[in-house]
Structure 1
Amino acid sequence: MFIKKIIYSSVNFFFDKFMYKLVDDDVVMSQKNYKSDISPEFLTDFRDIILFTYRYNFQDILSIFMEPERTSLYRKLNSNPTTDVGWGCMIRVIQMSISHGIRIYLRRMKCDDISVEKIINNFQDSRNSIFSIHNMVFKAYYNLGISPFSWIGPTTSSVIADILINENRDAIDNYKISSIVLKDGIIYKNITEKHFLGIEPECCTFIWLCTKLGARNFNIGAYKKSILLIMKQVPQFACIAGGHNNFNRALLVVGASMNYLYCLDPHTKILPLFSKKNFNREEFVQREPTKISWEDLNPSLSFVFACSGLSDFEEMCFNLRQINSDLFEAMECKNLYADVSFETDSGFLVL
């Protein structure tokens, strides 16, 4: 208890010191402070983040399944849409999480030899693209038993991303990628250490730390300090895959101020399918951030980090524990009987 009080006091000290310079209009994003959300510097950096949105007229999703399963699914679902409007927003958020995490990692490693177009091409609306919506639906069905076109939440989406990344570790040009998903929000040392021992030291490793803020009553005030400090002080932090609490819409949170969270929103555009032949960088730009109040943040979310090696991961864990040791819990090993169940009901409060 005494140690917890010391940690809590130190967090408050660092937060108060940080917030002394942060007025209501100041925005924090990727460890940078901006004077306002309309400042040219902020808007330039925000517009540089890759946006993925709803698409239409792409190859039918069920085409990725083999016969006779494809016909069986078509009969069962009585649908074979060529658009993800209405059901694919969280998948688009996870696509943004992957692309943004890769770019955060490359900047930290001072690597600038991969173009934005090369990264985006891995997300074409085609069964042949590694991180396409087609492959995410396919993995959700075969690995998790989730019916195609189901609405899924942050944890389920993070697990799907984890599977695809670990099956395609050479996907991003000459750089290796890997992934660890922490479905119950606890950092298990035995699992993470084993993972890092089995990969290249400079591999970009995604950490999907899934959680539901508040076991019973959600009070965002209890977490605002922690989230602001993570955005400001944890270099491995990329984004939060989450959503709006009242409108059942998935969002990618990339920045924050004292009053608002700043998001990329997959609902802002509905465009024709994306393929390599029709690449247009402007289609992947959100000109103005979607702003939501802290109170509107849905408590079910996934913190997304991008680490380089075990020591970088351990540094991240140390910083997270200093910020909030209750929110970011670490254990030596995982209970074999503890696991997270996946849900696909119609509400947004879904892991």
Structure 2
Amino acid sequence: MWTGDWMGAASPAFNRVVSGLRSYFRVGQAADLDDADGGVVMMGAAGAVAVADARARVQDLIWLTYRRGFPPLPPPSRTTSDAGWGCMIRTGQMMLAHALQRHGADRRRVIGLFLDTPAAPFSIHRLVDACPDKQKAPDQWFGPLEVCRMMHACCRAAQGDLASVVCSDGLFRSDVEEAARGEGEPHDGWRPVVVLVPLRLGLDDLNPIYMESLLQMMTLPQSLGFIGGRPRSSLYFVGFQGRKLLYLDPHTIHDHVGDVTSADENVSTFCCRECRTMMIDQLDPCLALGFYVASADSLDDMWRRLQGMKSPTGFDIGDRAPVWHRPASDTQAEQETDDDDFVLL
């Protein structure tokens, strides 16, 4: 039985949960999509689709939300739920899960890679452990750049056939090619790459000059959408209709699922039956783009499309980073703070 001081020792955790619930109710609204407003453009899709098709595609995505009752995170936290603080991690997981779906992995197998257990390669346990800031408590809120680096570290640790790269100082072709070919790999080899681009597109609000390019980048065949949304409240944006963005919201609490090898009910909470919408001008400027580059030809295509954009993208695009862009070592890069690495535009 709980006998502690409810307003004292319990209040920090309680406040985090309340904050997460408030985020759920104040951000966006249930998807008010209508075919009369035009087609819906889904990330990576060729052209607009009808509303019914867009809803079906949303349900094909893997929905990762707050969970409770999972094995404790490492000390000193020992928390068994990420409610109120884990939304950026969950949206990052959703983006990575979609990349794995594009990579050809079976849906149930992909879900198994993200289960909340220390054994799963992309679990919240592994991601928190991969945080470059070792002084940060596991149950604190994480920013877009931190989560991008955490996903990259977990991809490297998994040693699979899917590579990743974090492009925090600009998107440079040589960085993507280096990630695809890997250290010591033959130059004619290529592993598909998840390209993560954390950005800050304004001060307190999204600078309007970037809105058009943000929508255009979602139309690229390689697009995995983007994560971010509101201050300290992350969403996974997967499409748009006009200026209205479609997103999956992680701010729902489900019980821990430890196994998905059988029983359909175990995977039902990984399917989002209804996405939500918000207007693009309500976006917070801190976000992270994702791209899945399957081959060298895919990179050629993405590069051609990016370089052909007329609107400002908010980040440098080039064949190779200038010398002053490059950190002295990976260790030094991991020690930089989020604010240091964002290019403020």
Q: TM-score range by the shorter chain?
A: 0.7 to 0.9
* Counterpart selection for 1:316 from 296, 302, 306: 302
How is 1:271-290 mapped onto 2 (pairs within 5 angstroms)?
271-276=254-259, 280-290=266-276
Helix, strand or coil at the partner of 2:221: coil
Shift of 1:220: 4.7
Helix, strand or coil at the partner of 2:142: coil
* Counterpart selection for 1:261 from 220, 226, 245: 245
AA aligned to 1:213 is L
Matched, 1:342 2:337: yes
Aligned to 2:53: 41
Aligned to 1:111: none
Work out the CA distance in 2 between the residues paired with 1:169 and 1:337: 24
Work out the CA distance in 2 between the residues paired with 1:252 and 1:262: 8
* Counterpart selection for 2:198 from 184, 187, 210: 210
Do the aligned residues in 1 keep the contact of 2:213 with 2:313 (CA within 8 Å)?
A: no
* Counterpart selection for 1:130 from 100, 116, 121: 121
Do the aligned residues in 2 keep the contact of 1:102 with 1:204 (CA within 8 Å)?
A: no
Shift of 1:190: 3.9
State the Cα deviation string for residues 107-149 of structure 1 (Å, max 9, x = none).
Answer: xxxxxxx4210111001110011000001111116x6543311
Matched, 1:146 2:136: yes
How is 1:1-351 mapped onto 2 (pairs within 5 angstroms)?
24-30=37-43, 31=45, 32-35=47-50, 39-62=51-74, 70=75, 74=76, 79-106=77-104, 114-140=105-131, 145-170=135-160, 176-184=161-169, 186-198=170-182, 201-214=189-202, 216=203, 218-232=205-219, 234-245=220-231, 248-267=232-251, 269-276=252-259, 280-323=266-309, 324=311, 326-331=313-318, 332-333=320-321, 334-335=323-324, 336=326, 341-343=336-338
Do the aligned residues in 1 keep the contact of 2:172 with 2:317 (CA within 8 Å)?
A: yes
Distance 1:139 1:337, change over 3 A: closer
Shift of 1:189: 3.9
TM-score, structure 1 length as denominator?
A: 0.74
Helix, strand or coil at the partner of 1:140: coil
Distance 1:311 1:179, change over 3 A: same
| Structure 2 alignment gaps of length 5 or more | 1-34
What is the count of residue pairs matched by the alignment?
288
Note the aligned Cα RMSD (angstroms): 2.6
| Structure 1 alignment gaps of length 5 or more | 1-21, 63-69, 107-113, 171-175, 345-349
Shift of 1:204: 2.2
Work out the CA distance in 2 between the residues paired with 1:138 and 1:181: 18
Work out the CA distance in 1 between the residues paired with 2:204 and 2:139: 31
Aligned to 1:9: none
Point out 4+ residue stretches in structure 1 off by more than 6 angstroms.
Answer: none
Shift of 1:90: 0.6
Distance 1:27 1:157, change over 3 A: same
Shift of 1:316: 1.2
Aligned to 1:19: none
TM-score, structure 2 length as denominator?
A: 0.76
AA aligned to 1:83 is S
Instruction: Select between 292-301 and 324-333 the one with higher mean Cα deviation.
Output: 324-333
Work out the CA distance in 2 between the residues paired with 1:122 and 1:219: 34
Give percent identity, aligned residues only: 25
Do the aligned residues in 1 keep the contact of 2:243 with 2:280 (CA within 8 Å)?
A: yes
Distance 1:219 1:61, change over 3 A: closer
